[in-house]
Structure formats: C-alpha cells, structure tokens
Amino acid sequence: MQPFTTLTAIAAPIDEPNVDTNQLCPTRFNKVPRGPGHARILFHDRRFDADGKQKDFILDRDPFSRAQIIVADRNWGCGSSRESAVYALYEFGVRCVIASSFGDIHANNCSKNGLLPVVLADAEVAAIRKQLHAQPGATLTVDLAQQTVTDAAGQVHRFDIHPVRKKCLLEGLDDIARTQQYLERFEIFEEAYRRERPWLYTAAP
C-alpha cells in the first residue's frame, strides 16, 4: 500500500449527500480487473452519456479534473461494499475524501488502499465546499501526522483518526503482516474455540 503522509492538492467540491458506491462505480464495471481504466469508471454514468460523450460533470471541468481531494457532504460511499468504488477514486487520482460521515464499509475500503477518509463537521465541509466553488482550483493541505486540513483561507481544521489506521496509512502497512504476528495466539484461541463449539465443525453433508 502507498503511504499517505501529507498532500497539498486541488480539491473538488461535491455538494450532494449520500453519494452511494453505485455512483462511484456502476455495478456493471465491478468485474473489471483493477487498473488505470478505473479512472474513467469513476462516476461513469454521471460523467458520460450513452454514447460515451462527456456530460460536464464537475470532475471533468478544469481545474477539478486534476483534483486529488474531494470535499463531499454526509454519508459518502454508502451502499454496496464494492471496493471497485475505491479503485475508481484512486485511479482518477483522488487520495483523500473529506466528508461529514462515510459509509462504514467504504471508509474501511479507502484506508486499506492508501486513500485517506477524513471526517469533519457538517458546517466545516459546507464552508470548505463554498470556498472551493468561489475559488476553483484552490488547494487544500491534508497533514495526516498532525491530523489537520488547512483550507483555502488558511484555516486549520483538526480531524480524528484511529491511531492504528493512522499508523498503517502513514507507513503504508497492510494488515496481513500485522495479523501474522499473532499466529501463535490464533492457534491457541482456535483450539479452545473449537473445543467449546464442536458442532460448528461437523463435516459438511
């Protein structure tokens, strides 16, 4: 996983709440193996008409087409667990989404792929989106170590992140290596657990 430390980049405001993962990656693209093609899949049906022509979605307008940060509203990434929604964001170039809340599964999927989900208050995301509309192309700075977002007006917003998630993102650690340290404990646990619930392991019919 690519580490996430600090990022200063153009940010795109997406005003609507409840952007579901079907919007980020329409279902028919779920089967596409992960790759650069996912850049075009992001918000596909909002961006392209049936003939593949652009519809003038915000992420296709300059300077937002170069955005690496999205500032959204509440409940970003609700709905389906599809990780292809994260592949689409990532391949488009997005490394950080700021919203007032996230679909739980999507937020996990983001942080397992080096994409930082930042939660700020409703009023903060609304204010930052307003700035970005007023000054298209303005950059934000996200500093994970400090847990801050510096907005276009220079105001600093602090965010919370779980210390373990923070460490994994900062260092680009994947979970399996972490889990494998506990192999011995796993075996002891499992043996006791199986003894306690033998009915779970009776052979399949």
Contact (Cβ atoms closer than 8 angstroms) between residue 38 and residue 87 = yes
By CB under 8 A, tell whether 175 contacts other proteins. yes
Nearest approach, Cβ of 30 to other proteins (angstroms)? 5
Q: Which of 9, 17, 138, 161 binds other proteins (CB under 8 A)?
A: 17
Q: Closest CB to other proteins among 77 and 139? A: 77
Nearest approach, Cβ of 4 to other proteins (angstroms)? 15
Q: Closest CB to other proteins among 62 and 196? A: 196
By CB under 8 A, tell whether 154 contacts other proteins. no
Where does residue 201 rank: exposed (0-12), middle (13-18), buried (19+ CB within 10 A)? exposed
Q: Give the 3-state secondary structure of residue 13.
A: strand
By CB under 8 A, tell whether 40 contacts other proteins. no
By CB under 8 A, tell whether 86 contacts other proteins. yes
CA torsion through residues 122, 126, 132, 133, sign: positive
Q: Which of 9, 112, 136, 170 binds other proteins (CB under 8 A)?
A: 112
Q: Closest CB to other proteins among 156 and 164? A: 164
For 54, list phi and psi in degrees, rounded to 5: -65, 145
Nearest approach, Cβ of 8 to other proteins (angstroms)? 27
Size of the site for other proteins (CB under 8 A): 61
By CB under 8 A, tell whether 27 contacts other proteins. yes
Measure the CA–CA gap between 130 and 169, rounded to whole angstroms. Answer: 29
Omega of the bond leading into 63 within 30 degrees of 0 (cis)? yes
Contact (Cβ atoms closer than 8 angstroms) between residue 166 and residue 144 = yes
By CB under 8 A, tell whether 190 contacts other proteins. yes
Residue 9 neighbours by CB under 8 Å, 6+ apart: 67, 68, 69, 95, 96, 139, 140
- Structure tokens, 17: 């709440």
**Which parts of this chain interact with other proteins (CB under 8 A)?**
15-18, 20, 22-23, 26-28, 30-31, 33-34, 45, 50, 73-75, 78-84, 86, 101-106, 108-109, 112-113, 126, 162-165, 175-176, 178-180, 182, 185-186, 189-190, 193, 197-202, 204-205
